[in-house]
Amino acid sequence: MSTMSPEVHRQLCDERESLLAQFHRRLELPMLILSFVWLALFIVEIIWGLSPLLEVAGYAIWAIFLLEFALGLTIAPHKLPYLRHNWLKAIALAAPALRLFRIVAIARVVRAARLARGLRMLRLVSSLNRGMNALGASLGRRGFVYVALFSTIVLFAGAAGIYGFEKDVASGRGIDSYGTALWWTAMILTTMGSEYWPKTDAGRILCFLLALYAFTVFGYVTATLATYFVGRDAASDESDIAGQRSVDALREEVAQLREDLRGFRSALRS
């Protein structure tokens, strides 16, 4: 039995990596659209519930995601690194299966409400991760537009999540509407806080994740705005800060003086 040489093996792995990159690049736009439809269906399910037609559409998108993940895993030359890199995507695909398993097999064994909250949290985080990856692949992860759009998605999805977790809490002053949940999430994301604190475990976890995201994005937005205004000052000729134009003009004057000095020295020597 012939063995494959290391050079041939490396070449085959490189070819499969290139094929995998091309596969994801070709499916980038369709997966982006389906990711946001998937997230929108999740939000609608929490707030109003899904009609039979929308539920079928959700499972159809899930099947497409499963097929895309299976094909990517098949093409990938190194399976374990691919799974480690896409572990949250795998969880997102497992969540609907767990939901079906809960309905069929264990609905009578465990508390359905607590398990439903856990599955909702799982689907929320994994769906946001899929939307973040799709949006990042299209816009670039370092752009301000990317941060603004993803923060908007986090706002609406986080509001749906906290509403789904806290709407059944018998506290008298809970989050009883999606509008209230949207306001609460906006206050958390702007680091202003709110007088209401979640009562459920899933709601507290979501609150912590939203606050963690808010602190991270707040620093990025502050740095971006500071860079923008400093850049405007630097570009202005009337600014108190020495702008880039003034520095460039000064460099040109110094270079011209050096040339004049060299010419003057050459004239003296001759």
pLDDT band, residue 105 (cuts 50/70/90): very low
What are the CA-CA distances from residue 166 to residues 16, 22, 68 (Å)?
47, 43, 34
The span from the CA of 89 to the CA of 150, in Å, is 17
The pTM is what? 0.65
Residue-range domain boundaries for the chain = 1-140, 142-235, 240-270
DSSP secondary structure letters along 174-189: S--SHHHHHHHHHHHH
39 CB-contact burial (10 Å; exposed 0-12 / middle 13-18 / buried 19+): buried
CB atoms within 10 A of CB 13: 13
The SS3 call for residue 39 is: helix
Q: Are 159 and 149 within 8 A, CB to CB? A: no
What confidence score (pLDDT) does residue 122 get?
A: 64
Residue 173 has pLDDT above 90, yes or no: no
| CATH class given for the domain over 1-140 | mainly alpha
pLDDT averaged over the chain? 75
Confidence of residue 86 (pLDDT cuts 50, 70, 90): confident
For 142-235, CATH number out of 3.40.50.2000, 3.40.50.300, 3.20.20.60, 1.10.287.70 equals: 1.10.287.70
DSSP-derived secondary structure letter, 3: P
